[in-house]
Structure 1
Amino acid sequence: MNRTEISPPPSKRGKLSGSQNVPAASFPEVLRTFSWNVNGIQPFLQRSITSFFGAQEPDIQSDTAEASLRGFLRRHGWPTILFLQEVKVSPEDAATIRAVEKAVRVGSKDSSSEPDYVAYFCLPSDKFNARGFGRKVYGVCSIIRKDFFDRFVDRIRPVSWDTEGRFLVTETKAIGNWPKLALINAYMVNGTENPYKNTVNGRVTGTRHDRKLQVHRLLEAAIRELQAKGFGIILAGDMNVARSAQDACPNLRMSPPQHCLNRADFEARFFSKHATSDIGHDRAVSPESDRREERLDIGLGMIDTFRFLHPDKRGYTYHPRGRKVFGESCDRVDMIIISASLEKELTEAGMHETPGDRGPSDHVPLYARFAPRTFSTPNRDDTSGVGA
């Protein structure tokens, strides 16, 4: 693919994205959600030596800018929600958990007008499938504005079918023009040929490909259950799959063939409005499931917020380190996906795609903005004949 096809070019995307340097807006008029696979949260807790020489504006062309959770929140206009994936915190590491909680709160040197935040974690407890690097693997963290949390959040919970620290659900109350919301922080399984083990006895039951497909099925069922209870869904995080050739540079991954099956299963379950089938034939069975034939059903028909508003625009969230040129090899694997019922509330979606925004990670942050229908004015590209 010719690099000139990317619009805007990598060096300009952060400047053109609509959520940077905007004044703080309070819910319920606006709900702004950010998501970022940080590939380890520790760099955000260690002050660099340059931080002692006064505050500096981040250089979007450099990936050496100081990493700061509070600085990120300030720079992006105090979003309502910040979902982090792959935080790599051991479940026994209480000190790091406390450090994150402190890092997002209003500090003694912060303005009293700045909003406060709370942080919640879901970390791995699986002793067979999440044991490497001193158990500093996977894990998600949901950072929520305290004014929003105090008034609107009903509960925050993990899911029963995951023990790798990959999902955290924030459920809100229905207030004003907003329905009940279930905001799901997700770090989806990366499909590989590595073994997946039963979480109780450690026996190999399949591959990580099989587990990925099983998680697709379990998450689909969980979303159906939430929707049946009247929740609108905002699913945000690293999906570990690029949807199409438009979401990959220079090429969409096609080998081994199982990646194509994983992609097709993801599309059918979450975006299709037609009947789904057991495309991947997952074999990994957890104690919560059995081998009964899965009932065919209609896909969830959800909306990929970025692709819905920008059907022809190229943008990528995964930018591996070690490349000579930022943007020469990248994929859009991180997404914010919503229930079709929230289409009218969606007003903006994008990513901050620069080396500076990537920071110490190998992903860049993405965002979506929502407003109730009485306030919303969608900022959508020409979408004639194009779906989500």
Structure 2
Amino acid sequence: MLLLQEVKIARKDSKTQDAVRAAINASTSSKSSEPTYEAHFTLPNDPHNAKGPRGSGKVYGVCSILRSDLHSKFNINVRTVNWDSEGRISVVELSTPEAKVAVFNIYAVNGTDNPYRDPKTGVQKGTRHDRKLTVHKLLAEECKTLEEAGWQILLGGDMNVAPDARDGYPKLRTFPMQHTLNRSDFHSELLQGKDNSKQGFGGIDIWRQHHGDERRYTYYSRGREWGTSCDRVDYFIAGRKLWDANMVTESGILDSEAERGPSDHVPIWVDIAFPPSSAET
């Protein structure tokens, strides 16, 4: 499974969506046994907050790419959430008789002072900072509801939050002050919480749990020399039930200029093992 964020494809642009589907199945090999893939897009449907350049709608958006043969091992459902219309969240639900895992593909809100408007009326409802905090809460509630229904949770993508001082170079972003408040709220709602609060989701930062105090980064500004300005804002978060079931095996960051390619982010990865009698992804 491959999770892409900020694909910048308009909802009505079926030509580009079809081009992506063709590209992921293009092969230079004559072997007919090679796997095929399917692309599931979640794209903006918000005329007030996701206009894109000149109203094109080419902004935000996520794409979840799945190997087609996963259907032979799992019951699969791909959906979005009813509280986001900016194309920021895709949920891939995979289930077997032994386990149910919901994988969230996330392109989180970037907090700014720009206005956030009601998606239906266009009336301003605070700033993008306010919307970011609201999304933290809604996402945590979505995860807790799923866990109560027997699902194990994995969040992955661009969270637009560097969790702590180890995750920013040369230093963590703390100005303006709202960024510090956003970070604290993220911890309270989605991570284990600095105050050990049980109100939030209580997720686990997988890479940090696996790699201790190691300093590695996922965002590298293209306007700076490589390695001089970077942050770890892309990561996977495991729900406590998924973590305690020992289903998370390995994780990593592919941090090189070559892996960054034309983007300003590098790839990250995680291995999740389903119970022995089932499958492994």
Give the CA deviation at 1:275: 6.4
Gaps of 5+ in 1: 1-80, 277-296, 376-388
Q: In terms of Rg, which structure is larger?
A: 1
Cα distance in structure 2, aligned partners of 1:255 and 1:351 = 27
Match of 1:161 in 2: 83
Query: Counterpart of 1:200 in structure 2: which amino acid?
Result: K
Q: Contact 2:141–2:201 at 8 Å: present in 1 too?
A: no
Cα distance in structure 2, aligned partners of 1:331 and 1:124 = 26
Match of 2:167 in 1: 247
Q: Provide the secondary structure at the position in 2 that maps to 1:226.
A: helix
1:208-357, aligned counterparts within 5 Å? 208-272=128-192, 276=197, 298-324=199-225, 326-343=226-243, 344-357=246-259
Cα distance in structure 2, aligned partners of 1:374 and 1:186 = 28
Cα distance in structure 1, aligned partners of 2:11 and 2:71 = 24
Q: Provide the secondary structure at the position in 2 that maps to 1:263.
A: helix
Cα distance in structure 1, aligned partners of 2:19 and 2:266 = 23
Give the CA deviation at 1:174: 2.5
Give the CA deviation at 1:255: 0.6
Cα distance in structure 2, aligned partners of 1:110 and 1:328 = 44
Q: Provide the secondary structure at the position in 1 that maps to 2:271.
A: strand
Q: Provide the secondary structure at the position in 1 that maps to 2:133.
A: helix
1:366 paired to 2:268: yes
Give the CA deviation at 1:328: 1.0
How big is the alpha-carbon RMSD for the aligned residues of Structure 1 and Structure 2?
1.7
Cα distance in structure 1, aligned partners of 2:192 and 2:30 = 46
Give the CA deviation at 1:106: 5.2
1:167-186, aligned counterparts within 5 Å? 167-176=89-98, 179-186=99-106
Cα distance in structure 2, aligned partners of 1:131 and 1:143 = 25
Give the CA deviation at 1:301: 1.8
The 4+ residue runs of structure 1 with deviation greater than 6 A are none
Higher relative contact order (CA 8 A, sep 6+): 1
Per-residue CA deviation, residues 128-168 of structure 1 (Å, 9 max, x unaligned), is: 00002121100000001111134314311111000000001
Cα distance in structure 1, aligned partners of 2:26 and 2:207 = 31
Match of 1:85 in 2: 5
Gaps of 5+ in 2: none
Cα distance in structure 1, aligned partners of 2:45 and 2:10 = 9
Q: Provide the secondary structure at the position in 2 that maps to 1:135.
A: coil
Q: Provide the secondary structure at the position in 2 that maps to 1:241.
A: coil
Per-residue CA deviation, residues 45-84 of structure 1 (Å, 9 max, x unaligned), is: xxxxxxxxxxxxxxxxxxxxxxxxxxxxxxxxxxxx1000
Q: Contact 1:140–1:187 at 8 Å: present in 2 too?
A: yes
Cα distance in structure 2, aligned partners of 1:200 and 1:372 = 41
Give the CA deviation at 1:322: 2.4
Give the CA deviation at 1:251: 0.6
Cα distance in structure 2, aligned partners of 1:109 and 1:265 = 49
**Structure with greater strand share of residues:** 2
Per-residue CA deviation, residues 291-334 of structure 1 (Å, 9 max, x unaligned), is: xxxxxx5222211110010011111000110223x111100000
Cα distance in structure 1, aligned partners of 2:221 and 2:45 = 28
Match of 2:16 in 1: 96
Q: Provide the secondary structure at the position in 1 that maps to 2:219.
A: coil
Query: Counterpart of 1:318 in structure 2: which amino acid?
Result: Y
Cα distance in structure 1, aligned partners of 2:60 and 2:251 = 25
Match of 1:21 in 2: none
Cα distance in structure 1, aligned partners of 2:190 and 2:159 = 11
Residues 373, 202 of structure 1: CA spacing in aligned structure 2 closer, same or farther, 3 A cutoff? same
Q: Contact 2:216–2:232 at 8 Å: present in 1 too?
A: yes
Cα distance in structure 1, aligned partners of 2:10 and 2:71 = 25
Q: Percent identity?
A: 46
Give the CA deviation at 1:97: 0.3
Q: Provide the secondary structure at the position in 2 that maps to 1:342.
A: helix
Q: Contact 1:106–1:115 at 8 Å: present in 2 too?
A: no
Cα distance in structure 1, aligned partners of 2:71 and 2:127 = 38
Give the CA deviation at 1:92: 1.4
